[in-house]
Homo-oligomer: A and B are copies of this chain.
Amino acid sequence: VKKSEETYHHGDLANALIKEALRLIESDGPDAFSLREVARRVGVSPNAAYRHFSDRDALIRAISERGFATLLEHMRRSIADVKASTPRLRAIRCLKATGRAYIEFALTNPALFRVTFGAHTVLPNSTSSDAAHDGDPYSVLSSSLDALVEVGALPKPRRPGAEVKAWVTVHGHASLALSRVDLQTSDMIERVLDFVVEGLGVV
């Protein structure tokens, strides 16, 4: 992987293309993306990409998946960092951590965020709702809401539909913050997280 510059065979071209595509998109916007430009930046001929992706769309899909994975990882780390003296406090802070991670991800990777939640993205479905495995961002959110119920911080009757309420609010803040600097301060972020907690009826 390290001496890849020298060899005829790149070694890890698929990953290199995705990485470079991310950098390109992040610096010049989602519209600047093109297969040729990415190949150019990696230092490879345009059609080399076709060894790894069937076409332009396949590369975009790979980028989008990378986005989901990054978001998921960020949420997990954010939850892992939570410190609290009581289970109730811990559950509340974990919920807020998921939302904070989501918004921070958007602000740190604005273009990737747009691609990930772009027009053609099929989002994870809420139907697979026994979300014990936490394989995607939505499941992580579900679990943290379940935890709130378990510790008695969220009345059971208020549990249904809580995912959508939380997600919608956090997603809206993340989206709008991309073009409104006044929403980017951590103060405003904490405010919306508090709004979610309140609105859900956490006691």
Contact = CB atoms under 8 A, between A and B. Distances in A.
Interface of A: 29-30, 114, 117, 119, 121-123, 126, 161, 164-165, 167-173, 175-176, 178-180, 182-183, 188, 191-192, 195-196, 198-199, 201
| Nearest 6 A/B pairs, CB to CB | A172-B172, A199-B199, A168-B172, A171-B172, A168-B173, A169-B169
A104 to B, nearest CB: 16
A195 to B, nearest CB: 5
Contacts of A126: 182
A180 B123 contact: yes
Contacts of A119: 29-30, 114, 178-179
Q: Determine the main DSSP class of A at the interface with B.
A: helix
Contacts of A172: 167-173, 175
Interface core residue of A123, A172, A175 (most chain B CB under 10 Å):
A172
Given A30-B119, A119-B114, A171-B172, A192 B179 contact: no
Given A114-B119, A119-B114, A199-B198, A192 B164 contact: yes
A122 B123 CA distance: 27
A175 B172 CA distance: 8
A13 to B, nearest CB: 27
Contact of A175 (B164, B171, B188, B198): B171
Given A122-B179, A169-B172, 12 more contacts: A30-B119, A114-B119, A117-B175, A121-B179, A123-B176, A123-B179, A126-B182, A168-B173, A168-B176, A172-B172, A175-B175, A199-B199
Nearest to A192: B168
A196 to B, nearest CB: 8
Contacts of A167: 172, 176
